[in-house]
Amino acid sequence: MSLKEDLTVLFVSFYSKNIIEKPIGQIDREIPIIVVENSQDLKLKEHLEKKYPNVKVVIPDYNSGNGGGANIALNLVKSKYALYLDVDVSLTKSSLEELYNSANELKNFSIIGPSIDGLKYKKNYFIEKNVIDQVHSMNFITGCALFFNMNVLNQIGNFDENIFLYYEENDLYVRSLKKNFKIYLNEKAKIKHIGNVSTDLLNKEEIEINRNWHLMWSNFYFHKKHYGIFFAYYKSIFKLITACFKFSYFFLLRKEIKKRIYLARLSGILNAMQGKKSWHRTKIE
């Protein structure tokens, strides 16, 4: 078998038509690509499928979030491996080959991540260095590029769809390690990640508000799920106090955007503490 036969590449998009073509164009046209477009942009589907014969665009009935969108794509994968990519990444010529080569050499792995340009991992993220040359066993890797062993992923389960945004990969890592499946970093496979530009939407304030809400909600939910409610409160209480203070501060200063951001953080934490579902969504208008 070969890379072209063994791999499917996955993207989750939300109004990303001006961004997503860059990484798609860097992928061999014989490798199948699945794009889940959460914005229901039928024009993007028509454009991508016409221009790239290896691309299939799936449009859910509703905005399924990042993890939910990835799950839709993962459920369509028929290949041995799948590579999830954020839409704002840039690949090198050897990125996919390096990931594929290490996947064929490693045993008992669930996920392999590439080296991200400019990102240096903390020492406590490493479990064992140089399991093979420049490939390290990890307890955490950044989630912008994840190379999945589909056989193992089917045993672990896909992303937790209670999480709309943030911590979805952390949850997957914990579940993987609990089942003794390894997570690796391959430093020979290199990509660039721009970050925070995954959508073409012009209303950047609403995007920032949405991100802050979900960051706080997901932080509490993740820690409660895996470590218990008392630890979740421990991880969130300072954030709650800070959000209260900064909301009040910016309210008095009449700084509208800052006030709304910290109100969103406060709301995200409180909703999670009350056991409410992740409901906040970006306002498109």
Helices (H), the chain: 3-6, 21-25, 42-51, 65-74, 95-105, 150-156, 168-178, 204-227, 229-253, 256-273
CA 226 – CA 121 distance, rounded (Å): 23
Could you tell me the two tokens for 64? 């399924």
For residue 25, pLDDT beyond 60: yes
Is the pLDDT reported for residue 36 higher than 60?
Answer: yes
Round to whole Å and give the CA distance between 128 and 105.
16
The domain 3-193: what is its CATH number?
3.90.550.10
Residues in the chain: 285
User: 3-state secondary structure string, 53-108?
Assistant: CCEEEECCCCCCHHHHHHHHHHCCCCCCEEEEECCCEEECCCHHHHHHHHHHHCCC
Please write the tens of the pLDDT for every residue from 128-154. Answer: 999 999 999 999 999 999 999 999 999
State whether residue 36 is helix, strand or coil: strand
Predicted TM-score (pTM) of the model is 0.93
- DSSP secondary-structure letter at 201? -
Please report, rounded to a whole number, the percentage of residues in the chain having pLDDT higher than 70.
96
Residue 72: the pLDDT is 97
Give pLDDT tens digits for 69-119.
Answer: 999 999 999 999 999 999 999 999 899 999 999 999 998 899 999 999 999
DSSP 130: E
Higher pLDDT, 202 or 271: 271
Of 196 and 28, more confident: 28
- What is the rounded average pLDDT for all residues in the chain? 94
Q: What is the DSSP string of 246-270?
A: HHHHHHHHT-HHHHHHHHHHHHHHH
What six digits make up the tokens of 125?
């993220």
H or E element at residue 181: none
Which residues lie below 8 Å from residue 234, measured CB to CB, with a gap of 6+?
Answer: none
Q: Quick one: pLDDT band at residue 285, thresholds 50, 70, 90?
A: very low
Q: Token digits for 111?
A: 């996920």
